[in-house]
Every structure is written in C-alpha cells, then in structure tokens.
Chains A and B, each alone.
Chain A
Amino acid sequence: AQKITQTQPGMFVQEKEAVTLDCTYDTSDQSYGLFWYKQPSSGEMIFLIYQGSYDEQNATEGRYSLNFQKARKSANLVISASQLGDSAMYFCAMQGQGGSEKLVFGKGTKLTVNP
C-alpha cells in the first residue's frame, strides 16, 4: 500500500521569502510518480509539479521546485519568492505505476503568506 505523510498542518512565511513544505512517502513499487497540488479556498486542485521515481534531476516549474531524496523517501516542495496568492492548501500525492492510476494524497499543509 502507498502512503503519503505531510507532518506540517500549517506553515507561515513572509512575502518574498522561500518556504519548504515536507512530504514523505512509503511504497513497495519500484516505479512511481510524486505530485504536488495547490488548493485555494475556491476548492479547485491545481497541478504544480511532478517527479518520477527514476528522474535523476529534481523537478522545477517556475518558482516551484521539488527536493527529491529517494533514499529518504522524501519529496519536499520548495516555493521561492512567496507571493500572497500562494496562500492555500498544498497536497502531496503519489501514483504507483504498477497498474492502478489512483492518486494517494497526504493530509495537506495550509500555507499562509504574510505581507
């Protein structure tokens, strides 16, 4: 079974600073994908970034980067130069690649960006 753990229920950051949101995972699959989604108060789920288990480079998408440490089974999201609009819930998710397409989500971290 796959499991995602996000240990930070809430995080605060000052505008323009960087913040790291933690995510650890557990799986017996050799091949898997890791995702981060943002959920504003409107409720939509916005895809941010993806990391494949065999990708050697850490994924980056604009101000988002994923700090992937396979041996430690961690996939932390780093947001640089935080903006007020970054305030939202952030979910880490995993998808096994052994057959099921199901995304397994962590409990999420609520990020608040202060001016």
Chain B
Amino acid sequence: SAVISQKPSRDICQRGTSLTIQCQVDSQVTMMFWYRQQPGQSLTLIATANQGSEATYESGFVIDKFPISRPNLTFSTLTVSNMSPEDSSIYLCSVERDRQETQYFGPGTRLLVL
C-alpha cells in the first residue's frame, strides 16, 4: 500500500470562498482520484486527476467548481470554489499504484461551509 496524506485534515469556511486540498503520496502512482462523501452518504467520484493534462470529470462535476491539478506522479490538489453549505462533505483522494490495482485512500478532509 501507499502512505497518503491530505492537507488540511479539516476546515470551516465561509460561503463564497474557495479551499484547496492537497494530496501527497510517498511514492509514484499511476492513478489519482478525488471523491466526495456528503454527510451520511456514500462516496462519489468527482474526477480522475491526470498527470500533465486536464482532469477527467464525472457527470455532475465541472472544472470551474472543482479545479484539479496533478503536476507530478505523487501530488494532486482539489479546489472547491465559490463554496456553499451544500459543499460540506468529506473529500478523499485515492491512488492506484498501477492500473486496475487496489485503490488506497487518504485520511480525508472534513469541510464545513457556513
């Protein structure tokens, strides 16, 4: 497995502001993903972070709202833009060392938007 860290671990933000979440892996991985878990719900994939190119977004998620960067094979960021209370969720990054292998998750970022 990989050691994955996320920053911040939690935050409380005001509506209309933006927050950037970082995901750092201790070794190079092929695939990185960002998921959202709304309160009391299951996980939903936001996008696949592609190294050196634009992220691939799932239906219902757009780049303007959730811009993603992946400058190298160990690091990615997710920005939650123009936040509203509905964005209050746990945001988790996950990685696959190689394609079609087990996805391991970071510890998550708990976001509360007031």
Contact = CB atoms under 8 A, between A and B. Distances in A.
B43 A103 contact: yes
B105 A101 contact: no
A84 interface: no
Interface stretch (A41-49, A66-74, A75-83): A41-49
A44 B31 CA distance: 19
Interface string A26-45: 00000001010100001111
A42 B42 contact: no
B103 interface: yes
A95 B90 CA distance: 21
Interface stretch (B16-24, B62-70, B92-100): B92-100
A47 B1 contact: yes
A106 B44 CA distance: 10
B110 interface: yes
Interface string B77-114: 00000000000001010101001101111111010000
A37 B58 CA distance: 22
Nearest to B48: A101
Contacts of A108: 42
B33 interface: yes
A101 B33 contact: yes
A45 B99 contact: no
Interface in A1-20: none
Contacts of B48: 101-102
B73 interface: no
A43 B100 contact: no
B108 A101 contact: no
Interface of B: 1, 31, 33, 37, 41-45, 48, 58, 90, 92, 94, 96, 99-100, 102-108, 110
19 contacts: A43-B37, A43-B90, A43-B108, A44-B106, A45-B43, A45-B105, A45-B108, A47-B104, A50-B102, A91-B42, A95-B103, A97-B100, A101-B33, A101-B48, A102-B48, A102-B58, A103-B33, A103-B103, A105-B43
